[in-house]
Each structure stands twice: as structure tokens, then as C-alpha cells.
Structure 1
């Protein structure tokens, strides 16, 4: 589904919540470490709408917006102005997250140089003073993978290309993600959003003064990333790849419905279910359903990916082989065609249709391929 931002800031009272105070108390140390927080999280903060003579209005003031999530806050890296996110991780609760994340994407490592690696790069690990259990992982600020909406089928194909490739990379290196549903697939889009966007209210500019200007995926192809390795599992080559199931965000996984004691299971097959079910349920904005022919070409593959019997699900290698065959069957007319929003009424969408055709002509003139190709 398309990203929906709340009409009003969730934390606009001018009084910090307890989780915000944790970040506020870390702010001087984070500043010394080279990361600047938004005004709201600085020790010296006074709500802009309460400053005498200020023209700031509470509901649209930038500093009325709080946390992305309790453990996650955006920041700016001082040395280059790069927008990042800071994620608090408890070593006791997630003892392997930093280790697995570093293994997959530590800067400068051989793994990080692999073009098939779609694990969000780990830029830095900070260790706050006076708290031996807490560590802060630093990553690039990303955007929801479905925002803005997909414009063409070629853009959708590129999305599947990248996430299947990324999961294959993880599985090849014996890492099962454990929670690779749509919430944990995001994209980098500095090219799509040349002026940036507000980290919390992502449809607006960084200062909330206007809508965030953006191009399409065809014009500036994004790169999709898996995030959140809190329940990921890494195996050794000599060990059986079985693990006790840990429930992620998707509560429909068949092997997670068993009450009582369960045996160790294949977590790689569970990853396949997560990706398949994210597509089958709604492909975010665009539903694969009997009444919608838009994505029927994906139905046979997705149906296998969500098989109740995890032993009958395809491996990621088999998924990619089948997807390549499916992709090769799509016509040159289909790929640049407009993806229709589920249940849309054509007559009411004339402006969107006209806008698409205007862009489509521009794509041809500019030589944009129908399936976008990301370039770093």
C-alpha cells in the first residue's frame, strides 16, 4: 500500500516522551561522535512555536516531529552532511545482530563490494558510555520500497530482480534473514529525491516547507535493501541449516502456527514464504488477485513460494530461474505500461493516465530502458 503520513505530528505537545529523552541525553555524546540530531533532540531545544515572536505553527513545525520508531532516530553525519539513521540495539536482546550485519556489509569488506549484496551497509557502530549493553548501528537513511508508487511494470520487474538477487546472496552465504517481509525491504533514492525529504514525514521536504520533489524509478533507478537482522541466523558450512522458528512481523507463516514444542526447521524456506506472501497479499499497492490481471504472470511462482509445506517451497535459486522465464515472456509493450492502482476507476484517473503517457514519451526520448538499471 502507498505510504500514508499522519495529518498531524504524533509528538507535537512540546514535551518529550521517555524514549525521546533517552536520545536527548545521548545527544552531546553523539555530537562529539560526529552526528547531529534534529533540534527537537538537542539539550537546548525550545519548541519553535513557543519562542516569543516566532511565526512557527505547532502542526507544521519541523521540530514537532518525533522518532521514526522508539529505537530509531535520524541524524546527519557531520563530515559530509549525509543523512543516516541511528538504531539502538541491546546486546542482550539481539546478541547476533551487529555480528551478522557486520559480516554481511561492513564497509570495505569483500562482501560489501559484491553487486548482488542488498543488505543495508553498516556505516558505523557506536558504543555509548556508561551502558555496556547498548550499541548504536549507523546506516543510510532509506525510504519505504513502495513510496512513491511504482509507475511501470518494468519498475516492478526491477524490484523483484533486486530482492530475489539480494536474498540469494544471503542464502549463498548461509544467512537466513528471518523477517524479510515488506516492512524490512526499503530503498535508497538520493537520485529520485535530489533535494532529500524529511526522515519522519517523507512526502515533504527536509524543512517541511513543501512537498518533496521526486523523479520516477525509471528516470533515477533506486537500489533496494533488506534491513533489520535482529532475528537473522548464520550457519557454518558443516552444520545442518535448521533452527528453532522465531516469529517475525508476518504472523501467517504456516510453520509458526504450531502450538507447543516444535523441532528445528528450515529458516531459508521461511524467508521464501515471507517474500511470496508480501507479494501475494497485496504487492503493496497492487494486488495479485483473481479479479486483477495486472500481475497474473506472477501467480504460479508466488503460489509455490507460499506453499503450506515448507519442504515444497522452491529455493531462492529456483525462484530466480522461474522468475527469469516469467520475465522473458513479458512483451515489450507490457514493461513500460502503467501499473494501475488496485480497484481504481479509470474515468477518475485521467490525470494520472495522461501524466504517465507524458512520462512514457520522455522515457523514449531520453533512452531510459523499460527495466531500470541501478547505477551507483
Structure 2
């Protein structure tokens, strides 16, 4: 069973279904987490107060009701126990043994992603520095009566928050994605759902004192501390991860790879499209999942970085060639990328890049656009100054390839 199929079996599982309405009433999805609260606590994972069987809304304790809170939009996020989850099967929790805030995910026991996650969690695999899959901390059965499995991950954060500022930031990001995908392909794993939403970062380098986990699980503005560091301060600690292996496929060997059919994720690969009876293009043709991964990653890199790093355009064009046979494999693309990156003059690493938040979520206008442009400008020059005056090395490739 695909993870996406399991989500459809859970009521109210649509993405974006969480929010601020009915603050004091749990959705049917959330009732599942409430039912699991005690068992998860026994396993050593504490959910937020909202999911405790004894929960009383914090604003009710203060003498207010839902109507009072709904009339005051400026308080959105002030009462974190009033925010419903947006993803039916994933939630934040605190590990009781050490206070680590993590993410937990429910999966059906027959989920096709579980064997892949178990393989990637093997000691010799999880400790390989080329492995850029979000690490699995634990996998446990929910209880002896419920077949669902609980998978535990470190809390991750969207890679776009805070925005990258320098070409040097982007090159490290691209390098880790190409290296991570090459590692997956080397082990005959095709991700099949590469998109901006399925790439995260380890926030601990930028936010050593932690982040508000609700920033990961909802788009509702929540109170947060600013990052203590910029990427340029902590290049050696930055880690970017692939997540969501719900559509992924693992083959026993390279010789046993075969074509797949589209089951979800990106659907614009030209090799899988054909006209249906209504004359519309549909992803109905079998295709090579590994070549499709190259297409998806090339599209992502092109969207965010082609304009600011034109030197990457030939590689991006090759990765997104209409014919899959013309696309390089990921190991070849990684070598080509590192050659390009190391040939860039140092001054080129200081160029600014577009704010990905503006590209995807917040197309500011008017006074907001002017203030955001000023913020971007100040932020850029602060990061550029650090990079130049400190002589920060470009962390692309292995230790032997680092260039100052």
C-alpha cells in the first residue's frame, strides 16, 4: 500500500485541512492521535497538550471562548493548542528520554515505504555521509491491537526558511541534493516525488536553541525566534534531507530495474504523457523512474537557481532533456556540477539569489514589497560580508574537494 492511499483512509486527511476553525474541537483525524496519546507516552513520545485525553483549551482556562478568539486574528498562533494539524499521519512529539523534539508518522504495516526506510536506517547506510534521506530514529508498532507502525524522525524544517542569500548557499544545497539522489540511485532506490515540499533541512545548525515545531506542521504564522546563525556561519553543519518516500520504489539490483507507472507526484515528464480519449495529456505511459528523478530535480534546480547561476543552465538542460535517454545519470550529473562549482571565481559565489519564499508563497506588493526588498538587501550584504572577509570555503564535494 502506498502511504498516500493510507492517508485517504484517514478522515480529514486532505493536505491543508488543519487550521484555526473549531479550535476547541478535534477533527476526526486528530481523534486518532488522541486515542494513541497514552500508548505513545508509554513508548516514550509525548504529544502536544491538544491531544491529551484531559486537554482543556488554554484560552478556555483564561476565561475566553472560541468566538472571542476568532474575532482577534492578531492572536493567531498565540495559542498553539488551538492549531489543528494539516497532515493526517504526521505530528510533532517530544522524546521523553532527552527532551528531543521530533516528528512521528503513522504508516500501515504494508506500506511500500517501510522496507526503504528500514534499509536507509541500517547503521552502515545511515552513517554514510552521502546519505541525505531524513534519518529514521526509531520504528515501533503502535500497539498489539493496531497494525499501524510509528516511524520517528528528527524534526526537520522547510529548506526555504530562512531564505538562502548567496550563490554559495545554493551551491551547497544543490551539491547535497545531487549527492543524496546519486546515493539513492546507487542503491536502486528511485524517489519518484522530488519537489520543493519534499526537501527539508536540519534546523539545529541555524537554530541551536530549537524551533517552534508548528512552523513545520502548519502554514499558520506562529511565534518563532529568529535564527541565531546564517548559513554562511555554519556551512559545515548544514544538512539537507529528502523526505516522503511514500511513492518511492526500490529494486533488488540494477539488473532488475523495470519501468513503472505514474502513481502520484510530478506528472509532467514528457516520456510518460499520452493523449487520452478527451484529447488531454495524461501520465499513462510506463517510464524509467530514475530518469524521471533527474527530470524532477533538474526542474527544481532550474526554478530556483537558473537565473542567478547561469553556469548551471547547460547541466539543468541536460537533466530536463525531453528524451530520457539524453539525460545523464545522477552520478555523472554530480561530477559535472562539482566541476562547474569549483571553476566559479570566488566573486561569483557572492551573488545574490531570489528569495524562494517570495517565489512560492508570498508575492508581496506595494509597501510590503518595498520593505521586504529592503530586508532582503540588508540580509544579503550581511551574509556577503561574512563570506568575503572570513574567507569562508565553498563546501561542495568531499573534504578533499573543498576550495577556499
TM band (smaller chain)? 0.7 to 0.9
Deviation string, structure 1 residues 311-338 (Cα, Å, up to 9, x no partner): 2211102211221232133211011232
8 Å Cα contact 2:199-2:241 kept in structure 1: yes
CA distance, structure 1, for counterparts of residue 211 and residue 47 of structure 2: 15
Q: Which residue of 2 aligns with 1:102?
A: 118
DSSP-derived class of the 2:180 partner:
helix
Q: Which residue of 2 aligns with 1:153?
A: 167
Distance 1:156 1:359, change over 3 A: closer
Distance 1:339 1:132, change over 3 A: same
DSSP-derived class of the 1:80 partner:
coil
CA distance, structure 2, for counterparts of residue 346 and residue 19 of structure 1: 41
Q: Which residue of 1 aligns with 2:259?
A: 243
Task: For 1:54-133, list aligned pairs within 5 A.
Answer: 59=76, 60-92=78-110, 94=111, 96-106=112-122, 109-129=123-143, 131-133=145-147
Q: Which residue of 2 aligns with 1:314?
A: 328
CA distance, structure 2, for counterparts of residue 363 and residue 9 of structure 1: 40
Whichever structure has more helix as a proportion of its residues is 2
Q: 1:272 aligns with which of 294, 308, 315?
A: 294
**How many residues matched?**
355
CA distance, structure 1, for counterparts of residue 322 and residue 203 of structure 2: 36
Are 1:369 and 2:393 counterparts? Answer: yes
Q: Shift in Å at residue 233 of structure 1?
A: 1.4
DSSP-derived class of the 2:274 partner:
coil
Q: Shift in Å at residue 23 of structure 1?
A: 0.4
Distance 1:203 1:84, change over 3 A: closer
CA distance, structure 2, for counterparts of residue 50 and residue 372 of structure 1: 52
Q: Shift in Å at residue 257 of structure 1?
A: 2.1
Q: Shift in Å at residue 238 of structure 1?
A: 6.5
Distance 1:364 1:239, change over 3 A: closer
8 Å Cα contact 2:58-2:79 kept in structure 1: yes
Q: Which runs of 5+ in 1 are unaligned?
A: 1-5
DSSP-derived class of the 1:147 partner:
coil
Q: Which runs of 5+ in 2 are unaligned?
A: 1-15, 70-74, 277-282, 400-404
DSSP-derived class of the 1:353 partner:
helix
DSSP-derived class of the 2:346 partner:
coil
Q: Shift in Å at residue 346 of structure 1?
A: 8.9
Are 1:138 and 2:152 counterparts? Answer: yes
